[in-house]
Structure 1
Amino acid sequence: MPRLTASRSVSGFILALSAAIFWGISGTCAQFLFEQKEMDPAWLVSWRMLLAGVILILFAIFRKDSDAFQIWKSHKDIIQLLIFSIFGMVTVQYTYFYSINLSNAATATVIQYIGPVFVVGFYALKNRRWPSLMEYSALFLALAGTFLLVTHGSFQVLVISEKALFWGILSAIALAVYTIQPVQLLRKYSAPTVTGWAMVIGGIMFSLYTKPWMVSGTWDMGTVGAFSYIIIFGTVISFSIFLYSLTLIGAQTASLLCSVEPLSAALVAVAWLGVTFTAMDWLGTVFILVTVAILTLAKKPEEKQANPTDINQASLT
């Protein structure tokens, strides 16, 4: 039995880490498409949600004890799903990809990871309590890490544009909304059902603005490869193996391991796209990852219900 338990733990660790690495590389693929293939971020978001959403719904349909269509039998749940689709799914995806377009995958991913700080703030206000000492420490580290990322320690200059910083912070806030809003749905329905339908609905509604039938960017084998990676490995496979890792090692451990995502985004962006990441950038990244670790370990019971963070902090973002 101990050997079996150890084997399950190792498998869970590998799966969770693989999912985080897949998500990080997905952000770098998006940067490649924006910079070198002139693809519109909104167009990519539309197709990612539509294609990945359909695959996830099919996955939900063929699951044992499928609840793929149960969600449509309650008017209250339909309204919640529509709200999540627009203000959660579409918002978190677009702000993240657009912030990549304005800066780079590494910086955008790390900044989005301050999202849990906004989650803590929400629950502090909701429950009318002051944050704990650990939460205050996490807030300080998040602010310090963001400061180092966007200024390299100087009070006089930004190393990314004000617009990139604005959209990066907006993506972190969107991540917090994405984390909190669908809690009630996730207590009743499986994650593939909620996420799949939210992506399809969001993709259809966003398509009214993006017109996905009008092809964006320069298409060649590199474009096809990066685009396919984002849909298959960066969304469907990463989502599936991360869900399975939750059953092996638990949500808290799996969520901590997913902090590897910004590191993988940074390493791949530096090695593949030649992104400059200075010592200050790495230090800022470490500060923000420590923030995530502190908030995950100190998470309150009501926050542990927020399953979307466990499913994907950035790249179902």
Structure 2
Amino acid sequence: MKAYYKSADRGFTLLQGDCIDVMSSFDFKFDMIFADPPYFLSNGGISVQNGKMVSVNKGDWDRSHGVDEDHAFNRTWLRLCREKLKSNGTIWVSGTYHNIFSIAKNLTELGYKILNCITWVKTNPPPNLSCRYFTHSAEYILWARKEAATPHFFNYELMKEINGGRQMRDVWILPAIAKWEKSCGKHPTQKPLSLLSRIILSSTHSGAWIFDPFAGSSTTGIASNLLGRRYLGVDMCKEYLDLSIRRKKEIENPVVRDELLSKLNRQSALYQDHLNDCMVEYESKLPF
């Protein structure tokens, strides 16, 4: 396929189109895949952003077509992703209860081995407007490897170091998207750099190839390049592909790049210290 965009350093490539069609048209194996697929949340509801009531509708791509059709869609793109992974490659898939159970079932049935279900606890979730149930403040990220019998890469020692010398757990306290991450424009489901950076550092070597079939604003690609990895992203929307290009060009400025890395380091340390304090307090109250 002809690339929509390819950076001069050849480490950031974008393709335009439906990910199912695009994945069927090339043959390349990646070290890691991160996928932020439709959560099927665009059902006419409302939420809060910056103190204002807003619609939760993201677009037709996020609209549910019924349980069976949604599940079949997840199966199709997950099957194609498996074909694009190296034998020791891993995939990370984000979601909420709306789609994560379908993802888990499909991963198992397609032959992946699920390694973890990460609970990403948001420090700044939107409030619950209905006051009829608990406030939604977490998302889930399934981590799975392609082959049950083929070892995967896990940067255990680095994760332990980041976690203050303690084994890192599967509950991550991290903020949602920060204002400074929107300098080039906004995407309705943009993931924070702190989340993608941890995922990439934990499961890839420097120089690895990383694929995102639902690229959006390419946070996966920005984190990949900041950390010395290479990236291929796919998205249908020209608006978001152009946003991705602006973000890539922004980090080509050494000053901006250094500022982003510095902010990530400070942010990670801040929330990891908070998590460590919570765990120490919790463990001090255990009866054994």
Alignment TM-score > 0.5, same fold: no
Identify the structure with the greater helix proportion. Answer: 1
TM range (shorter): under 0.3
TM-score (norm 2): 0.26
Identify the structure with the greater strand proportion. Answer: 2
